[in-house]
Amino acid sequence: MSSIAANLEWLFTEAGDDPADRIRAAAAHGLTAVEIWGWRDKDIAAIDAALTETGVELLSLIVDPQLPLADPGMRAPFLQAVADSLVVAERLRAPNLVVVSGDDRPGVPREEQRTTLVSTLAAGAALLDGTDVTLLLEPLNTRVDHVGAFLSSTRDGLDIVREVGSPHLRLLLDAYHALMMDEDIAAAVGPDIALVGHVQVADLPGRHEPGTGVADWAHQFRVLRELGYRGRFGMEYQPTVETRRSLAVVEQLADAAV
């Protein structure tokens, strides 16, 4: 089994605009897992059929729409979005739903916002009780891609996951975002690797395939495995070459770290 998953928003676009065709292309390449972002604009029946046909696993999709979770006024819409997204996740047999914090609220103390975020995530996770689906909380870098986001720190994200204390909430460690924030991933995660539900990857700067930037991916993959991470690595990058060529180096590095 390959240790990587392909994000179909950016990878296998050579197969066309239909996510179902991209699933088939990923399967033809030998991958066994893929990811998508939003689901409301997609043909869920066609995706379901392609997953069944190929045996590929849909590893994650996002809670759609994404909402500012540090705003108490967004709690009810968020819970509805979780409920709606859960229906799709269960139909597609996807084990993970991705959430982000949304933007910081100017003029509102951060601790107040954090309290709101924690309680909202706890309520969202409670909706998943009795299911096999987990919310993945993703910190985002605020230096380039998500200026103004409330949650940008891996350590802060892990602390929130621990405080909520639900088996249905874990951290999505996007190594691109963490490295963009100059984090030492090993130091940031430390003994809390069990709270990391998934890892995503892109090189920096530019958010392209590993090998195009400055990160030492052989080291990063090895560190995560040594910490105890046993999941797949999600490839969430914009390839500079044809998808299959872009995967060649990273597949070797990720599989070697198993």
Check if the beta carbon of residue 189 is closer than 8 Å to that of residue 220. no
> pTM (2 decimals)?
0.96
What is residue 250's predicted lDDT score, i.e. its pLDDT? 86
In order along the chain (258 residues), what is the average pLDDT of each group of 10 residues?
90 99 98 98 98 99 95 98 98 99 97 99 99 99 96 98 99 98 96 98 97 94 95 97 93 76
What is residue 90's predicted lDDT score, i.e. its pLDDT? 99
What is residue 240's predicted lDDT score, i.e. its pLDDT? 97
Alpha-carbon distance 187 to 191, whole Å? Answer: 9
Integer-rounded Cα radius of gyration of the chain: 17
What is residue 22's predicted lDDT score, i.e. its pLDDT? 99
- How many CA atoms are closer than 13 Å to the CA of 42, on its beta-carbon side? 25
What is residue 258's predicted lDDT score, i.e. its pLDDT? 63
In the chain the domains, ranked by start, together with CATH numbers, are 4-256 (3.20.20.150)
Give which of 244, 245, 246 is closest to 203, Cα–Cα: 246
What is residue 219's predicted lDDT score, i.e. its pLDDT? 94
What is residue 251's predicted lDDT score, i.e. its pLDDT? 87
DSSP-derived secondary structure letter, 103: B
